[in-house]
Amino acid sequence: MSFSKEEIAQRIAKEIKDGYYVNLGIGIPTLVANYIPEGINVVLQSENGLLGMGPFPFDGEEDADLINAGKQTITTLPGSSIFDSAMSFGMIRAQKVDLTILGAMEVSENGDIANWKIPGKMVKGMGGAMDLVASAKNIIVAMQHINKAGESKLLPKCTLPLTGVKCIKKIVTELAVLDILPEGGFKLLERAPGVSIDFIKQSTAGKLIVEGEIPEMRLD
Amino acid sequence: MINKVVSGAEEAIKDISDGATLMLGGFGLCGIPENCINALVNKQVKNLICISNNAGVDDFGIGLMLKQRQVKKMISSYVGENAEFERQLLSGELEVDLIPQGTLATRCLAAGYGMPAIFTPAGVGTEVAEGKEIRNFGGKDYLMEYAFDADFAIVKAWKGDTAGNLIFRSTSRNFNPVMAMAGKITIAEVEELVEAGELDPDYIHTPGIYVHRIFQGKDYEKRIEQRTVRKVQ
């Protein structure tokens, strides 16, 4: 059975290590914050200028001056800091942020990512996505393996306009966890419970590398 | 001490004329210069080039200027919250230059630091790189991006003093300090204006040298774009 969005987020949360500074994109990545393992100290960066993002405020305690990059009202935590947008992307560019988690429409077998523009549709803009993918040393992409029509979004080559090139090394989808190898290709690491390797093969248009036993994804 | 205080938004923007290039601080609707935007709407200046991370919403922020077709071109990183914007863009009435958010901020920073250009990896290998110079440093490609050249920067701060020093509050800081540094003329509207000497010099975010005009704004709405709350357990 394929994973829900929450389960994808839960699986990605297991990649977060103690002491990490983490930037979470909009969509499934935002949900990762709900599953950070207990006992692990993580500082969330919001690229509009905050380190130490806390949970949503209680009803009535919203502060219009305190939002995240998704424009949602949030809170700060002890140890938080505030800075301007240039410094925010400065720390991203300088690779001070340990882990970036973002969504994608397509990823290619050489690590290219497309997540900002669909030709013929209203273009909203790339926001901070191009800066993040170009600079982050450690990016995990949370995405759907196949679209509603059953077509693969893990491709030999992206068809949509690119956000960044050769920058993605790990992907978690509703079907699998995969690494992108430096020489190219999606290396299958784990599969969702009950999902067959054959189905993952069918669902991956790009080069899929399967070696040895592929364990099922675990959330605990 | 040089006194930079003006009476209000109207006086602050009095010499902004058709075709001017403006920087407007804020992220989403957070930390936008509400008073000056309203004054620009009333003044009905046209053909403006606006550099701002976002373009407001239909009935607030830069959206109000778009509605009156005062904007010729938007230079932004994300413009997704505005139906009138979309209509003008699709009909060709409005130009838009979408640039990565970090590039936008750093092009402001470069202007304020007196540097003509920056090198950034953002956009390498994408359509953003088209026609731009690429340099390789340490085995990695970087795009050359120019510092912005804006006639006016209009920012919103929490507190300011009569010498033009500014302090921002929480994440309404965002683009405001870097834009404040980048304008040929910088206009700051603040929630609370105090006499020089009342703000601790150690806590100033933007030194007054960057600010040419300052006033205490009024009737701040501070609209929230996405009100998200959690339940009391």
Instruction: Identify whether A17 is part of a domain.
Output: yes
- Asked whether the beta carbons of residue A46 and residue B104 sit closer than 8 angstroms, the reply is no
Which of B175, B170, B209 is closest to B191 using CA atoms? Answer: B170
pTM of the model: 0.96
Neighbour tally for B93: CB within 10 Å: 12
Number of domains in chain A: 1
Instruction: Identify whether A216 is part of a domain.
Output: no
Residues 38-57 of A with CB under 8 A from B: 46-50, 55-57
Instruction: Identify whether A53 is part of a domain.
Output: no
Cβ contacts of A33 within 8 Å, gap of 6 or more = A24, A44, A53, A55
Instruction: Considering the candidates A7, A47, A109, A174, report the single residue annotated as catalytic.
Output: A47
> Does the annotation count A183 as an active-site position?
no
Outline where DSSP puts E strands in chain A.
21-24, 43-46, 50-54, 75-82, 99-103, 106-108, 113-114, 139-142, 154-155, 170-172, 176-180, 186-191, 208-209
Instruction: Identify whether A72 is part of a domain.
Output: no
CATH label of the domain that carries residue A192? 3.40.1080.10
Q: Which tokens in the block code for residue B96?
A: 């838009």
ipTM attached to this prediction? 0.97
What domains lie within chain B, and their CATH numbers? Answer: 9-216 (3.40.1080.10)
Give the span between the Cα atoms of A93 and A65, in whole angstroms: 25
Residues 86-115 of A with CB under 8 A from B: 86, 88-90, 92-93, 112
Instruction: Identify whether A192 is part of a domain.
Output: yes
- Asked whether the beta carbons of residue A85 and residue B53 sit closer than 8 angstroms, the reply is yes
Q: Which tokens in the block code for residue B143?
A: 């795009």
Alpha-carbon distances, residue B12 vs A197, B25, B64 (angstroms) = 66, 16, 19
Instruction: Identify whether A133 is part of a domain.
Output: yes
- Would you give the DSSP letter of residue B226? B
Give the span between the Cα atoms of A101 and A21, in whole angstroms: 11
Instruction: Identify whether A90 is part of a domain.
Output: no
| Residue-range definition of the domain harbouring residue A162 | 5-38+97-209
Tens-digit pLDDT profile for chain A (220 aa)?
Answer: 799 999 999 999 999 999 999 999 988 999 999 999 989 999 999 999 999 999 999 999 999 999 999 999 999 999 999 999 999 999 999 999 999 999 999 999 999 999 999 988 888 999 999 999 999 999 999 999 999 888 999 999 999 999 999 999 999 999 999 999 999 999 999 999 999 999 999 999 999 999 999 999 998 8
Give the span between the Cα atoms of A43 and A53, in whole angstroms: 7
Instruction: Identify whether A215 is part of a domain.
Output: no
Nearest residue of B to residue A80, measured between CA atoms? B170
